[in-house]
Amino acid sequence: MHTYRADKALLPHGWAEDVLIEVDGEGNVASVAPGSKDDAAERIRGIVLPGMVDLHSHAFQRGLAGLTQRLATQAATFWGWRERMYDFAARLTPDDLRAIAAQLQVELLKGGYTTVVEFHYLHHQPDGSPYPERTAMALALHEAALETGIALTLLPAVYMQAGVDGGALEGAQRRFALDPEGWMRLIEDLEASFADDGDRCLGLALHSVRAVPPPAITEAVAAARGRGGFMPIHIHLAEQPKEVRDCLERFGRRPLDVLCDAAEPGHDWCLVHGTHLSEEELARVTAAQAVIGLCPTTEADLGDGVFPLADHLALGGQFGIGSDSNVGTSAAEELRLLEYGQRLAHLRRTVAATSEEPHAGRLLWCRALAGGAKAAGRPVGRLAPGFRADLIVLDPDHPSLVGRAGNLVLDALLFAPGPSAISDVMVGGLWCVRGGHHAAEASIARAYRQTMERLLA
């Protein structure tokens, strides 16, 4: 048991001062007591928040950031960007993936994320044949997380066809091939690596209704739900208008209808993007208690469109945020762009705020925490007994935070300028970042640099 005393902290019921936080040997919060004067406890000089969950990441795409901004044939669309991504993915080895993932995870930790949900579809060798150890690419992500200390929810993705027409996987897509039976084998192989570790868990990803035929969706979901306990299930859905058009042409149904016909979404689901869901579809998602996974920096970079957040919140919908292609690695930046996109679309300010919660920063941070925790399948997102001791510490002397108190702190964290105010980060009771630095960041950056120089030569 280790005891800390935070100057200020955001607790489930609100802000508190002199908060005594006891962390047990398993990395869970054992007790929380505000108003303590225990001088024997290790003092946390700053403002403590629950760490954010990155509910959707493709780690390897961190290496692609900045390489797709030149106008070329078809590059002005998502589909042109996808071809560039395929070219990059085709070159990666497990060692490359580990180096890129570790660099990303250090950046995510510094950006306020304490959990990352990895939507993993880079399964096989470049020619599509399995690695001698079929978990090689998945374990590269796991090894990176062990090195950086970030909590990892790993979602191996089922990926079976090139489009809704059932075309065969070609080129780099052959690396992605995985059917429900293969997913089961992969999960069974990975379970030993994840056993008895509170900072690692597994789940199911279905790439999309484009890449997974309805019968396979039914089979995979039944397999995941049949394993007992809560297992998160994620899928890309309605990200692009073309996906909607293709489903209408192929099935006479929109993507959500195709999904619901195959396997009714429930509280264990995260629908990633949902950019082009109708208000009626949002109501169905809300009724199912599914989480919408929003990735504003990636959605902006790819020209996906603007998610109808105001409608979703008005319906009582749940959401979380993800870094996706990792053109952004800051939780505050992701939430800032989410809100600013809404302001541009609605021609007014503080779209996410309500009369019950008038501070946009507080509402966005806390709602994203709750949705992200659910999508990650981990007991996180609250400084309360029984939850993981995942927290970030803000420097109260940071220029953006000077003179701010209570909910103004979160407003400033999201909407004030300047470098990050995050000084320290704890995951599962262990400090990963102190004074703005990760202990292994120099060696991780060196390995990343060497990897990228070789890949881009």
Give the whole-angstrom CA distance, residue 95 versus residue 284: 42
pLDDT in tens, 317-363: 999 999 999 999 999 999 999 999 999 999 999 999 999 999 999 99
Mean per-residue pLDDT for 135-153? 98
Q: What is the pLDDT of residue 75?
A: 56
What residues contact residue 129 under an 8 Å CB cut-off, 6+ apart? none
* Strands of 27-176, DSSP E: 29-33, 42-50, 52-57, 113-120, 151-158
Q: What is the average pLDDT across 253-259?
A: 98
Q: For 114-130, what is the mean pLDDT?
A: 97
Mean pLDDT of the chain: 96
81 versus 57: which is more confidently predicted?
57
Q: Are 20 and 13 in contact (CB under 8 A)?
A: no
pLDDT, one tens digit per residue, over 350-375 is 999 999 999 999 999 999 999 999 99
Residue 83 pLDDT more than 90? no
Which pairing describes strands 422-427 and 430-434: parallel, antiparallel, or unpaired?
Answer: antiparallel
**Average pLDDT of the segment spanning 179-196:** 95
Residue 268's identity, in one-letter code, is D
CATH architecture of 2-50+383-441: Roll (2.30)
Q: Which of 124, 273, 359, 398 is catalytic?
A: 273
Cα–Cα distances in angstroms (integers) from residue 188 to residues 134, 155, 220, in the given order: 11, 13, 14
Closest CA to 197 of 146, 247, 125, 239: 146
Catalogue the E-assigned strands of 190-317: 200-202, 204-206, 233-237, 269-273, 291-294
pLDDT in tens, 426-445: 999 999 999 999 999 999 99
pLDDT-based confidence at residue 82 (cuts at 50, 70, 90):
confident
Q: Is 273 a catalytic residue?
A: yes
**CATH: 3.40.190.10, 3.40.30.10, 3.80.30.20, 3.20.20.140. Which one for 52-376?**
3.20.20.140
Whether the Cβ atoms of residue 340 and residue 332 lie closer than 8 Å to each other: no
Confidence (pLDDT) at 321: 98
Given a contact cutoff of 8 angstroms between Cβ atoms, the answer to whether 181 and 224 are in contact is: no
246 is catalytic: no
The pLDDT assigned to 389 comes to 98
> So what's the pLDDT on residue 71?
81
What is the structure's pLDDT at 74?
A: 57
Look at residue 123 and tell me whether its pLDDT is greater than 60.
yes
Say if residue 394's pLDDT is above 60: yes
Cβ atoms 222, 173 nearer than 8 A: no
Half-sphere exposure of 218 (CA within 13 A, CB side): 7
Q: What is the pLDDT of residue 73?
A: 59
Mean pLDDT across 185-195: 94
- Amino acid code (one letter) for 375: A
Cβ pair 124, 157 in contact under 8 A: no
Q: What is the pLDDT of residues 22-66, one digit of tens each?
A: 999 999 999 999 999 888 999 999 999 999 999 999 999 999 999
Sign of CA dihedral 240, 245, 251, 256: positive
- Report percent pLDDT > 70 for the chain: 99
CB of 173 within 8 A of CB of 137? Answer: no
Q: CB of 180 within 8 A of CB of 220? A: yes
**Average pLDDT, stretch 208-212?**
98
CA distance 243 to 295: 18
Q: Give the global pTM.
A: 0.97
Which sequence spans correspond to the domains of the chain? Answer: 2-50+383-441, 52-376
Q: Which residue is catalytic, options 324, 390, 395, 424? A: 324
More confident residue, 213 or 69: 213
